Amino acid sequence: MKIFKPVLLLMANLSLFSASSHGAAHPGIDDWPMFRGQPSLTGIAAGKLSAKLELKWSYKTGAEVKSSPTVSGGRVFVGSFDEHLHAIDLESGKGLWKFKTDGTIESSPLFLDGKVFFGSEDGKVRAVNAADGKLVWERQTEDKVIGAPNWVRNPKGGKPWVLVGSHDYFLYCFDSETGKTNWSYETGNYINGSPAVEPDLAVTAFGGCDAILHVINVETGEKVKEIDAGAYVAGSAALTGGRAYFGHYENEYLCIDLQKGTNIWTYRERNFPFFSSPAVTKDRVIFGGRDKRLHCVDRADGKQIWTFSTRGKVDSSPVVCDGKVVVGSDDGRLYVVSLETGKEIWNSEIGEAVTSSPAIVNGHILVGSDDGNVYCFGPK
């Protein structure tokens, strides 16, 4: 507990990290403003989701779409391996604008205060205007940026701060308005995923190729704790209730107590790694595996509740909405399964791998595919 002293001082003002005009701690029915929906990266969507869906539109980019869509204000923002960030009209599927970079864009965008933030393989983190795609600022890191940005309220007042990791081993904290670096934190290897934020503890936590779960004070950028993950972490953790949930390359999914730095449970069944980030409900944790299955375990003890088999590895990160789980697979399908039973409710055969993670807004599912398209499915 002693090591958490700087964090506990911040807890006196939790409004610094709660919902505000900047964005929401949990997405509304009409918005999915970032990867996994909310800063905790728990992958929960609001509203209803029909069991009978049909394709509403598809939008063609110039290359694979591994980036996960972001939706706000009736617009969809998504990166592509064609080196462009694309803005698409949510209702019609028509392109609105696109922004050219000098590298592929795997990073999932963050919408915040009328701007879209994203990284690129050219090593830059950029902010562009959501309305017209005009550049606001850019900052150069020393290697590619493939993880999604996250955000926290500015503890000193003023505009929010943006958090993003790079393959140059650093986690950066930028001022969202100016791009000024507030702090940077060096790790021991690549950072692939997005840093998750736990507002009740005022920390961010993320894993990397150094096989460590890093817990960082979001105000100062100082280390709070380093926790041995056991193997390199390719995906992003979800943080809720003072615990971190994540998988790693050595075939395990973990639940970690952030304050104690101890392992609460470990899930391991077969020798296949986990790249998928989890969806976390009040009593379940759901994630994909390279064993071609979707797994659902008890949040309290990690005991398996059900598995759902696909025909390809599941690197896509599932989203839970209305008692249903939505996820893509490398078998070229998008699936909807029952949260309660793990039984299939619906699927659509896209054809090429779906490693992009879905976004759900107002009963519509948006997802990218390796065929270069962004798809929108809605109720019949």
Can you name the residues that pair with 115 across neighbouring β-strands? 112, 129
Beta carbons within 10 angstroms of residue 52's beta carbon:
8
Q: Are strands 115-119 and 333-338 parallel, antiparallel or unpaired?
A: unpaired
Predicted pLDDT of residue 40: 97
Can you give the pTM of this predicted structure? Answer: 0.93
Can you give the residue range of the structural domain that contains 113? 2-379
> Does pLDDT of 180 surpass 70?
yes
The pLDDT of 277-281, averaged and rounded, is 98
Q: Are 76 and 378 in contact (CB under 8 A)?
A: no
CA separation for the pair 135, 116 (Å, rounded)? 10
- Which DSSP helix (H) or strand (E) runs through 163? strand 161-165
Predicted pLDDT of residue 38: 96
CA separation for the pair 280, 287 (Å, rounded)? 9
Question: What confidence category does residue 285 fall into, taking pLDDT thresholds of 50, 70 and 90?
Answer: very high
Beta carbons within 10 angstroms of residue 332's beta carbon:
19
Nearest alpha carbon to residue 65 among 31, 108, 34, 35: 108
Domain count, the chain: 1
Question: What confidence category does residue 18 fall into, taking pLDDT thresholds of 50, 70 and 90?
Answer: very low
- How far CA 204 is from CA of 11, 39, 76, 223, 237, in Å, comes to 14, 9, 26, 10, 10
Q: How many helices (H) and strands (E) does the chain have?
A: 1, 32
Can you name the residues that pair with 288 across neighbouring β-strands? 294
> Does pLDDT of 24 surpass 60?
no
Predicted pLDDT of residue 14: 32
CATH assignment of the domain containing 178 = 2.130.10.10
Beta carbons within 10 angstroms of residue 64's beta carbon:
21
The pLDDT of 129-141, averaged and rounded, is 98
The pLDDT of 111-136, averaged and rounded, is 98
Question: What confidence category does residue 199 fall into, taking pLDDT thresholds of 50, 70 and 90?
Answer: confident
